[in-house]
Chains A and B, each alone.
Chain A
Amino acid sequence: METEAEGNGFAIHPMDQFVVRPLFSDGPVHWYTVTNVTLWLALAVLCVAALMIFGTRRRALVPTRSQSVAELAYGMVRNMVEEVTGPEGVKYFPYVMTLFLFILFANLLGLIPASFTTTSHVAVTATLALLVFFSVTIIGFVRKGPGFLKMFWVEAAPLPVRPVLAVIELISYFVRPVSHSIRLAGNLMAGHAVIKVFAGFATMAVLSPVAIGAVTLIYGLETLVAVVQAYVFTILTCVYLRDAVADNHH
């Protein structure tokens, strides 16, 4: 909107790609309305199914290409859960795997031109982060009872400092879902918006070579970001889960 009035009918709407629109009507977006969000979430589910179910349909002893990718993802997330949260955490592996695969495919699908990036919305990432936050808190209290609160009472520190540290730890605990969700949404939104801005500049003959080069470059970077952010979100989930699952030595 800022750049709209350039005079030569040249307009860039970097944020337009994030608008939630109903697919089949122009009406308001109710909670049940089938929107572009629905479409791209469904595609992410389809991609997960394609890789993890269709890709492994032969159950081959010597894996095919798609099967070894599925096994790679399985092995990576499973090892991560096992190493970060300890052997006790392995039972939450399917949950972590769901998050990882969903975010990975949502991010990668968002890289398709003219697609809708579901994970660039705070609504989506905040839901994911809050799911993790509440699960960790509930699992922690169920497994340890009130002992879960010891997490905030840093026994390694001298006694007079402990109450202060407890307040800090408590605040950081509640800030976790915020940083957890904003990190993912922010990264994806910024990258996609920048690509859109450069793509807009590509309509100007003078700038187009530079703009197209920049789009290519940022696209490569965004591909990396898509995978890395899925990984980061997953490993942070494991780190938070460790507080609830592992022994009290913090």
Chain B
Amino acid sequence: MEHQVQDVAEAATGHAPHAGGMPQLDFTSWPNQIFWLLVALVAIYLLLTRVALPRIGAVLAERRGAITNDLLAAEELKQKARDAETAYNDALVRARAEAQAIVAKAKEAIDADLAAAVEKADAEIAQRVAVSEARINQIRAGMQDSVREVASETATALVAALGGQPDASVQSAVADRVKG
């Protein structure tokens, strides 16, 4: 319906664009198309060169810069981490050596203390032994005296019981026996 109206209108105005079939070959519309195409192209060219392309170029450059910077920063941080690790390891080694030194020193001191204590104990023991020996000798000596006394008393008592006269001869005889 619309087409028929269009056909009638075109027939009336005297130029029928698709009478020959292809509107592309209707040269009457060419100046119009070319004119508006050039306007459109100029518009796009201006939009691109004035605004879009510099902007996108700047964004891309900025991004490339940011990426490069980030990579550099990452490299730097990595180096720092590596340094820190080395420092930590060094400190660890140093602390371990120090600890070993301290242990050795303490051992030495303990050994010395121990030796001194042992020596002191030995001396004390020797002294005590000597004291004890002295007392033992004293006791032993005391014991001989007591034996002699008990023997002479017993002998005197025996002599008296047998009706004899206990005198000095008994004493000397007992002394001789006890000594023998």
Which residues of A are in contact with B by a Cβ distance under 8 Å?
A: 1, 11, 13, 15-16, 18-20, 26-33, 35, 37-38, 41-42, 44-45, 48-49, 52-53, 56, 59-61, 63, 67, 70-71, 74-75, 93-95, 97-99, 101-102, 118, 120-124, 127-128, 131, 185, 189
Contacts and interface: CB of A to CB of B under 8 A. Distances in A.
Interface string B12-28: 01010110011111101
B45 interface: yes
Contact of B24 (A52, A59, A99, A123): A123
Task: Tell me the interface secondary structure of chain A in the complex.
Answer: helix
Contact of A101 (B31, B44, B55): B44
Given A28-B28, A74-B60, A95-B45, A13 B36 contact: no
B37 A19 contact: no
A61 B66 contact: yes
Contact of B53 (A18, A42, A61, A94): A94
A47 B63 CA distance: 26
Contact of B23 (A19, A30, A45, A49): A19
Central interface residue in B6, B34, B48, by most chain A CB within 10 Å: B48
B13 A53 contact: no
Interface of B is mostly: helix
Contacts of A127: 33-34, 37-38
B44 A123 contact: no
15 contacts: A13-B18, A16-B3, A18-B22, A19-B17, A20-B33, A35-B36, A52-B51, A52-B52, A63-B59, A74-B53, A98-B45, A123-B30, A124-B34, A124-B37, A127-B37
Contact of A42 (B22, B33, B40, B41): B40
Nearest to B58: A59
A44 B40 contact: yes
A120 B7 CA distance: 22
A32 B31 CA distance: 8
Interface of B: 3, 6, 9, 13, 15, 17-18, 21-26, 28-41, 43-45, 47-49, 51-53, 55-60, 62-63, 66
B49 to A, nearest CB: 5
Contacts of A20: 17, 23, 26, 29, 32-33
